[in-house]
Amino acid sequence: MATVHSRANGNGTTVRSVKPEQAEDENIFLFIPNLIGYFRIVLAVASLYYMPLHPRTCSILYSVSCLLDALDGYAARAYEQGTKFGAVLDMVTDRCTTTCLLVFLAQAFPRWSIVFQALISLDLASHYMHMFATLSMGGGDQSHKNVDESRSWLLKQYYSNKVVLTPAQKVLFTFCALNEAFFIALYLLSFSSPLLSPTLLADHNNPSSIQPGSPAAPKPSTFFASPFSAAAMEMARANKMDSTVPWIVMVASCPVMILKQWINVVQMVKASQWLAEGDRATRKKEGLPRKDKKSQ
């Protein structure tokens, strides 16, 4: 009979390990949580395809991909299939999808492109430094979601699986969901709000005008060489949507989005301090700086 041991994996969950001869029969890449992760990627790529011209379809695909982020975690715990590969796949998918959306917003709102560039840089830098610090300082089996409260109470509450806002939503999922909701709403407003996108204003005094935002403009097939050109996006904006719901979602989720960015800053600072502690310990162990070293 195989001996069963418990250990913490890359997802921060406890799984059972078995004898090597039994474990080698498992195909990690076909674990249910990882299959969900692959499906998330497919939905994300599909949303990118529709992003320039079909905001409704894009938003639905993108939102479903984000919501499945919670399902793979439940599947990992339910089927005891939490893996380091799954944890990395989950984080990489999150970072890539959010980055792609922010790149589009930088194009849709060029005057604010530096803000979106800063958000992309902060998101990537903070998560990379946090995971690297966790792996190098906490050990190879340490999950990036296992945060010592003595290091940061805020990050402990953010990553904790025990803190819930409602019976169905956890702090981590809630923050991520509302953060994504803000950017999705802003994306929809780029197609529906003349306040944010002045080109949506149609020239009603000149119906034959080809001014962006005028439904009377020539058909895309005869006027635009590429359906994914910047001009084609302006044509898509002519098919205006109601902006009421996106405005409500954006305003409601804005405080959480701001707090999420602050958490990214705290995460990056704490990871930097943790790495610096390790550097000081290493240098002390190696006897650096060598005070008795002769000056050259």
Q: Give pLDDT, residue 64.
A: 96
Identified catalytic residue from 94, 123, 203, 292: 94
Best CA proximity match to 74, nearest among 104, 131, 41, 33: 33
* pLDDT for residue 169: 42
Its CATH architecture, for the domain 26-200+215-283, is Up-down Bundle (1.20)
Is 141 annotated in the active site? no
pLDDT tens track of the chain, all 296 residues?
A: 445 454 444 454 445 554 545 546 799 999 999 999 999 999 999 999 999 888 999 999 999 999 998 888 889 889 999 898 998 999 999 999 999 999 999 999 999 999 999 999 999 999 999 888 888 876 555 554 555 555 555 555 555 544 334 333 467 778 888 999 999 999 999 988 888 877 666 554 454 444 444 344 445 444 445 656 666 666 666 666 788 999 999 999 999 999 999 999 999 998 999 899 989 999 999 888 887 655 55
Question: What local confidence, expressed as pLDDT, does residue 166 receive?
Answer: 39
Triad 177, 181, 187: Cα angle to 5°: 150
From residue 265, alpha-carbon distances to 65, 155, 220, 256 in Å are: 25, 11, 44, 14
**The two three-digit tokens of residue 240, written as one number:** 């205006």
- The encoded tokens of residue 230 equal 């910047």
Any idea what DSSP says for residue 199? Answer: G
CA dist list (Å): 269 to 91, 109, 155 = 19, 30, 11
Measured CA to CA, the distance from residue 93 to residue 69 in angstroms comes to 9
Q: Which helix (H) or strand (E) holds 191?
A: helix 171-192
- 22: Cα separation from own chain's centroid: 35
